[in-house]
A and B are shown apart, each in its own frame.
Chain A
Amino acid sequence: MSHLPIGSDHRAWLHTLVLSALLLSLVTAACAPTPTPEPTQPKPKTLTLLLPVDWRPVVDWIAPQWKEETGIDLEIISLAYDEVHDKIVSSARGGADVDIVYVDTIWPAEFAKAGFLIPVDKYVTEEMRKGIAKPLFDQLVWDGKLWAFPFNNQSKWLFYNKEILEKAGYDHPPRTWEEMEEMSRTMMEKGLVKYGTAWGWAQAEGLICDVTLFLYGFGGRWRDEKGNWVFNDEAGQKMLQWMVNSIGPDGWADPASTSLNDRTVLNPFLVGDTAFVLNWAFAWGLIQDPKESKVVDKVGIALIPASEESGLVSSSVTGGGGWGILTNSDTPELAAKLLQRFMSREVQVQALDLQQNMPVWTEMYSDPEILKAYPHFKAMGPQFQYAHFRPVLPWYSEWSLQAQVEIQAALTGAKTPQQALDDLAEWSTQKSKEYGY
């Protein structure tokens, strides 16, 4: 520190500047752990992927091989599932340096309409067209174009506790909702379970998945061929009334259902407090894990029932997704090459091993070797043909939230089922008119 009498303004400015520079250098030093590429060197080729953590292990597995084959690094941005949609939105709008994103089955219309994705039709090989069931492509199509490679074949199944059913004197899983209710009541009376089941009906996307499978299982549907919202018809009302009754005061399902999600509904099931649970493929891994579960090897998989009146065999909902390429990408060809690799049988086997992911290739469901390792496939395979889509809309996020709110209003008794459905139908119709979809 100088002892000279420096009162001059210049010196003051200087001091401030130096101090600021000092602090700024601190800032830059702090950035050191995030190395930015040297501007002098040619930028090394990397592909950046944005995905839910669910898929991280699979991509982690591919990355080193891909690097060895092509010399290209994969940069993986993995997020909680709930954050992925919002992050894709901000990345795509902000022009962020992201090439590939995971596209959930409910997003293609929105992302395509927003101009976030490029169509991938031309990258789909003949082999894929032949070997993968059409519905898997269909759920990623909007406006006649394919917006993502189908990667994840997902549907809901009915998991049931064979041991408890046997104790109650049943030798088969329920075929209709009415039968499931009756079984549950018997088991509750006999003190075998706390509740027949717990539903994942918290205000979240999972609720709409369940409503979709119930709606179709009661003979209803979201929209007719002309695109009119028709779910508030008689079938829809019966469906929602039945849902409400199941968790009501005289119900047979856990009344906590309105605060549970697809993971937490498994907790009571894994300790044998419930006998049935609707869930996705990942549940099987938990059920068979002795560290998590007390029901290892006691669980069977069945088709999800439908209502007696509808006369339907079963009804489920699709929940898969795929990989899309952002318009931001400088190297869409390269991204497509990686995604073709993702589609390979070898990667699908890995995804199955690591994540209980249901493969997209039809032949894998009859492959003796896979069936030997995953005997439950035999029971799971037939469900896909009964799986329905949720509404395909560019403004799906907004619609889904409103639907969650209205359905929950009915479930929590704030509205009658009819009122809730009518309100939702009216709102949907008005919005459809406004948005043109």
Chain B
Amino acid sequence: MMGARSRRIWHRIKPQTFLVYLGALLLLLWTLAPAYWLLASAISPSHELVAYPPHWFPDNPTLERLQAIIGSKMLRASSMQTMAAPAAFFRRAILNSAIVASTTTLLCLGLGSLAGYAFARLRFPGRGFLLILPLALQMLPPIALVIPLYSLVQALGLIDTLAGLILVYPSFLLVYVVWVMTGYFQNIPEELEDAARVDGCSRLGAFFRIVVPLSTPAFFSTGLLTFLLAWDEFLYALVLTSARAKTLPVAVGEFSTQFGIDYGMMMAGGLLASVPPVIIALLFQPLLVRGLTTGSIKG
């Protein structure tokens, strides 16, 4: 009976369905294979990395590199030492990235939601202009601004400090927050606020007591996206930091010396730098998707 039934199912599978599954399989391969190689390279011993025929699955996986980075210790093998030296500073970079990305996010959410509220609720001269102009401005690429911003940060004495980065990062994040929050606030019925104001709340009071709690999902999804974008930033970090405030994207590149690159260490560092954003992306995927599609301002 089972045989007949499965045959019947087999007959019922249309070629189109088959194509869909084939497509999904290819898509999965395309998505996962490079990511898998990042992981495998990080834990393969050096000689297995370059071996042919390739060791797609390392025979003797090693956590040595990851330990070197997380434990901030130097690998003692004579020749690995130069390559491993930055490992000692990688942990600091992880901390820096976390601080910079989260503080920038909070800063942008705070300032951006205030402005967003004004744009969503209040009528004032110049509203359209003030809403649109920054939209154009924030499209200016970092390379067009980095030299003057270097002078600015230098003048403030903030070169190679986390504060310097936190000051500069809103330049490409703030407008996004303002726009998404404006859109979100507009969809909250004004009557709710009116009711609170009748009860004696100030405008700002109503904002904090009514609008902000209702907007928690928007804050969260916008915040996640802002965090990821700040985590990813490279050029400003490259130019504005040198040692103490170095962030992860810059630190990943440091596993290279005058004479070349240690791909194993780079992959190990890259793996660690990818873990937080990947976890966020997979855990909060629906939220992020909503943030990305409603706010198609910055990718």
Chain B 61-87: CB-based contact to A (< 8 A → 1; otherwise 0): 000000000000010011111100110
B281 at interface (Cβ–Cβ under 8 A)? no
B16 to chain A, nearest CB (A): 43
Give the residue of A31, A75, A76, A355 whose beta carbon is less than 8 angstroms from that of B162. A31
B110 at interface (Cβ–Cβ under 8 A)? yes
Q: Is the CB of B260 within 8 A of A96?
A: no
B19 to chain A, nearest CB (A): 37
Counting from the closest, the 9 A-B pairs by CB-CB distance are: A263-B260, A285-B79, A81-B258, A77-B243, A6-B202, A289-B79, A56-B85, A262-B259, A94-B154
B194 to chain A, nearest CB (A): 13
B244 at interface (Cβ–Cβ under 8 A)? yes
**Which residues on B sit within 8 Å (CB–CB) of A356?**
79
Q: Is the CB of B254 within 8 A of A94?
A: no
A16 to chain B, nearest CB (A): 7
Q: Is the CB of B46 within 8 A of A292?
A: yes
**Which residues on B sit within 8 Å (CB–CB) of A83?**
238, 253
Q: Is the CB of B99 within 8 A of A30?
A: yes
Give the residue of A30, A53, A91, A354 whose beta carbon is less than 8 angstroms from that of B100. A30
Chain B 233-268: CB-based contact to A (< 8 A → 1; otherwise 0): 000001100111100000001111111111000000
Q: With A and B bound together, what is the CA distance between A210 and B106 in angstroms?
A: 51
Q: Is the CB of A52 within 8 A of B166?
A: no
**Which residues on A sit within 8 Å (CB–CB) of B47?**
270-271, 291-294
B171 at interface (Cβ–Cβ under 8 A)? no
Chain A 57-85: CB-based contact to B (< 8 A → 1; otherwise 0): 10000000000000000011111111100
B41-60, CB < 8 A from A: 45-47, 50-51
Q: With A and B bound together, what is the CA distance between A20 and B242 in angstroms?
A: 28
A377 at interface (Cβ–Cβ under 8 A)? no
Q: Is the CB of B82 within 8 A of A54?
A: yes
Q: Which residue from chain B places its CB closest to the CB of A354 in the assembled complex?
A: B81
Q: Which residue from chain B places its CB closest to the CB of A55 in the assembled complex?
A: B82
**Interface-side segment among A21-29, A166-174, A422-430:** A21-29
B292 at interface (Cβ–Cβ under 8 A)? no
A317-360, CB < 8 A from B: 354-356
Q: Is the CB of A261 within 8 A of B261?
A: yes
Q: Which residue from chain B places its CB closest to the CB of A292 in the assembled complex?
A: B46
**Which residues on A sit within 8 Å (CB–CB) of B39?**
none
Q: Is the CB of A23 within 8 A of B202?
A: no
**Which residues on B sit within 8 Å (CB–CB) of A19?**
110, 114
Q: Is the CB of B202 within 8 A of A7?
A: yes
A-B contact pairs, 24 of them (CB 8 A): A1-B209, A2-B202, A2-B205, A3-B199, A3-B201, A19-B110, A23-B111, A27-B103, A30-B103, A30-B163, A30-B166, A33-B95, A50-B242, A57-B74, A94-B150, A104-B258, A270-B47, A279-B259, A282-B257, A289-B79, A291-B47, A291-B80, A355-B81, A355-B82
Chain B 133-177: CB-based contact to A (< 8 A → 1; otherwise 0): 000000000000000001100100001111100110000000000
A137 at interface (Cβ–Cβ under 8 A)? no
Q: With A and B bound together, what is the CA distance between A283 and B257 in angstroms?
A: 12
Q: Is the CB of A53 within 8 A of B260?
A: no
Q: Is the CB of B106 within 8 A of A28?
A: no
**Which residues on B sit within 8 Å (CB–CB) of A79?**
242, 254
Q: With A and B bound together, what is the CA distance between A319 and B110 in angstroms?
A: 52
A1-22, CB < 8 A from B: 1-7, 11-12, 15-16, 19-20, 22
A264 at interface (Cβ–Cβ under 8 A)? yes
Q: With A and B bound together, what is the CA distance between A218 and B10 in angstroms?
A: 72
Q: Which residue from chain A places its CB closest to the CB of B79 in the assembled complex?
A: A285
Give the residue of B205, B238, B245 whose beta carbon is less than 8 angstroms from that of A34. B245
**Which residues on B sit within 8 Å (CB–CB) of A266?**
260
B153 to chain A, nearest CB (A): 9
B107 at interface (Cβ–Cβ under 8 A)? yes
Give the residue of B110, B166, B239, B257 whose beta carbon is less than 8 angstroms from that of A54. B257
Q: Is the CB of B261 within 8 A of A263?
A: yes
Q: Which residue from chain A places its CB closest to the CB of B158 in the assembled complex?
A: A31
B146 to chain A, nearest CB (A): 10
Do A15 and B204 form a contact, CB below 8 Å, given A78-B85, A79-B254, A263-B261? yes
B200 at interface (Cβ–Cβ under 8 A)? yes
A298 at interface (Cβ–Cβ under 8 A)? no
Q: Is the CB of A263 within 8 A of B202?
A: no
Q: Is the CB of A23 within 8 A of B110?
A: yes
B37 at interface (Cβ–Cβ under 8 A)? no
B202 to chain A, nearest CB (A): 4
B36 at interface (Cβ–Cβ under 8 A)? no
B208 at interface (Cβ–Cβ under 8 A)? yes
Q: Which residue from chain A places its CB closest to the CB of B49 in the assembled complex?
A: A267
Q: Is the CB of A33 within 8 A of B162?
A: yes
**Which residues on B sit within 8 Å (CB–CB) of A271?**
47, 50-51
Chain A 260-286: CB-based contact to B (< 8 A → 1; otherwise 0): 011110111011000000011011011
Question: With contacts A53-B86, A261-B261 known, what are 19 further pairs, Cβ within 8 A?
Answer: A12-B203, A19-B114, A20-B110, A28-B163, A30-B162, A30-B166, A31-B161, A31-B163, A53-B257, A57-B74, A80-B255, A81-B258, A83-B238, A94-B154, A268-B50, A282-B79, A285-B79, A286-B79, A291-B80
**Which residues on A sit within 8 Å (CB–CB) of B151?**
94
Q: Is the CB of B79 within 8 A of A52?
A: no
Q: Is the CB of A292 within 8 A of B259?
A: no
Q: Is the CB of B242 within 8 A of A77?
A: yes
Q: Which residue from chain A places its CB closest to the CB of B259 in the assembled complex?
A: A262
Q: Is the CB of B242 within 8 A of A53?
A: no
**Which residues on B sit within 8 Å (CB–CB) of A6?**
202, 204-205
Q: With A and B bound together, what is the CA distance between A27 and B100 in angstroms?
A: 9
Give the residue of A90, A264, A355 whose beta carbon is less than 8 angstroms from that of B150. A90
Do A11 and B202 form a contact, CB below 8 Å, given A19-B110, A34-B161, A94-B150? yes
Q: Which residue from chain A places its CB closest to the CB of B243 in the assembled complex?
A: A77
**Which residues on B sit within 8 Å (CB–CB) of A26?**
103, 106-107
Give the residue of B51, B244, B257 whose beta carbon is less than 8 angstroms from that of A81. B257
Q: Is the CB of B46 within 8 A of A291?
A: yes
Give the residue of A50, A78, A95 whose beta carbon is less than 8 angstroms from that of B154. A95
**Which residues on A sit within 8 Å (CB–CB) of B254?**
53, 78-80
Q: With A and B bound together, what is the CA distance between A83 and B238 in angstroms?
A: 9
A223 at interface (Cβ–Cβ under 8 A)? no
Q: Which residue from chain A places its CB closest to the CB of B51 in the assembled complex?
A: A271
A76 to chain B, nearest CB (A): 7
Give the residue of B45, B166, B204, B256 whose beta carbon is less than 8 angstroms from that of A82. B256
Q: Is the CB of B77 within 8 A of A289?
A: yes
